[in-house]
Amino acid sequence: MNASRFIFLIGILSIELIQISIASVVSAGDFNRDFFVTWSPSHVNTSADGRARSLKLDPESGSAFASNDMFLFGQFDMQIKLIPGNSAGAVVAFYLSSNQPNRDELDFEFLGNADGQQQPYILQTNVYVDGFDDREERIKLWFDPTKDFHTYTILWNIHQIVFMVDWVPIRTFRNHADKGVAFPRWQPMALQASIWDGSSWATGGGKDKIDWSRGPFIASFQNHKIDACIWKGSAGFCTAESPTNWWNQDLSNSLTWAQRRLFRWIRKYHVIYDYCQVRPRFKNNLPKECSLPKY
């Protein structure tokens, strides 16, 4: 796909997103109001106006924050700038989780790189349903995520889950519950972010450890937007296809034609690991969703 075609599709996609995002917004960017620190307050720095926040990792500790509210369906955007330089072993995560033993969870995990690697980061996504995961996918990003902020989005509705990077859909997970595929639809989840030491696995399969002399390692966050159904104890309101719950309406039940073009481009040129392509891992009995439509 050439550059002009890519830009054209992104333009069409932006128009489509503006048309469907007319609902009231739960939040539009105040970290102090929307989140609380869950790990190591001394390693969390928030701007005076509450619009930006950074997380630090050093030999003493990592750090994390989580939303004050729990949500059942919606769209969640966060602009993130990742750790520059040698970040081997460090993991930055942006995700939704129900925080239960049988948790549902939707993950963006950014796996740090060692010096000399061409691509600065591998982005891993994962989907947990009722405590079970084994659904990892990995892509190489088409830009350097350490140079500037980029928008990472999770759209989660009654029809599908879509992971997006700068509005480009990189992964989908459709609701095929009617065909026996588990789908996260009952457990409310909190929006969370963290930075931590993943030296045992994150870079080079655990061969490249954190070099603490390069630290501290800092990831930056800004301009978050939460447009979602706040959990009030009953799933009924959040699963309704009402004007407020725009994400559940027909317009969001699948990828648009522009999104499908971009999605196919990602799958062809940027996916480097897909659990659905690893038959030995599942003893040649791939999960049901692997043979079902992705949109």
Residues belonging to the active site: 105, 109
CB-based contact 270:142 (threshold 8 Å): yes
CB 83, CB 218: distance < 8 Å: yes
Q: Which amino acid is at 171?
A: R
In sign, the C-alpha dihedral spanning 114, 116, 119, 120 is: positive
CA distance 215 to 202: 17
Residue 170 structure tokens: 């990189």
Whole-angstrom distance, CA of residue 51 vs CA of residue 222: 6
Secondary structure (3-state) at 20: helix
Contact assessment for residue 207 and residue 155, using Cβ atoms and an 8 Å cutoff: no
d(CA 193, CA 181): 28
In the structure encoding, which two tokens stand for residue 118, read together? 């061409």
Report whether 216 contacts 58 (CB < 8 A).
yes
User: Which helix (DSSP H) or strand (DSSP E) does residue 174 occupy?
Assistant: strand 168-174
